Amino acid sequence: AYDMVHEGVSWFSQKGAGMERRTFSVGGTASASPTPSGAVTNDTSLVGVSQVTEQQLVDLFRKRGFTAQVPKAQELAPLYITWGRKFNIRADIAWAQMAHETGFLRFGGIVPPDANNFAGIGATGAKNPDGTYKFDRFATPELGVIAHYAHLAWYVFPDHVNEYCNQQYDPRHFGNRHRYLGENLGVLNRRWAPSPTYTDQIIRFANMIGG
């Protein structure tokens, strides 16, 4: 069993020329359920504990030819597995979403690599007064992974599942636009991103993991 506590860990949100800083502690776990096998589709539940290994997650980068990003993937893989268990959300699908959102950790879009933002959180296209794009920034890679799972949990669970489901951990954890519509992957279409086919690449990458 995995257990850890972080004291005084900080979360940062990019707002205008300045930063907003919040401090919180991390600890605890969520009850977990096993994940059924089978190909990932839009009808696949995000809820459950994937049996995927760190090596299988990292190998997705090798399969796609992104060898330069393998060291960073190796750093993130255990975090995705650990926090997937804590949130009872499939790590393989979250990993595939991370690969899609970050361009396999090459970034190149609104969010820079040092933001530790692996899911495009807060990157809606809105701009700050100085003309720069808004996005959310996290102090460490682990906090970025926690935010990713907390935001997924907001979509796929009817209620808060643990102490991380709030704006301290996920700065976009507000509003009723993300009301519970089910736990299947397809609910992210038109919601996590405007596209009705947003999950197509996530499905593609998820089915490459371990295959």
Q: Which pLDDT band, with edges at 50, 70 and 90, does 204 fall under?
A: very high
Q: Give percent above pLDDT 90 in the chain.
A: 58
| Cβ atoms < 10 Å from Cβ of 35 | 22
Confidence (pLDDT) at 148: 96
Per residue in 122-143, pLDDT (tens digit) is 888 889 999 889 899 999 999 9
Confidence (pLDDT) at 38: 84
Mean pLDDT of the chain: 82
CATH of 36-208, one of 3.30.70.1150, 3.40.1800.10, 2.40.30.30, 1.10.530.10: 1.10.530.10
* Single-letter code of the amino acid located at 146: I
Torsion of CA 157, 3, 136, 101, to 10 degrees: -70
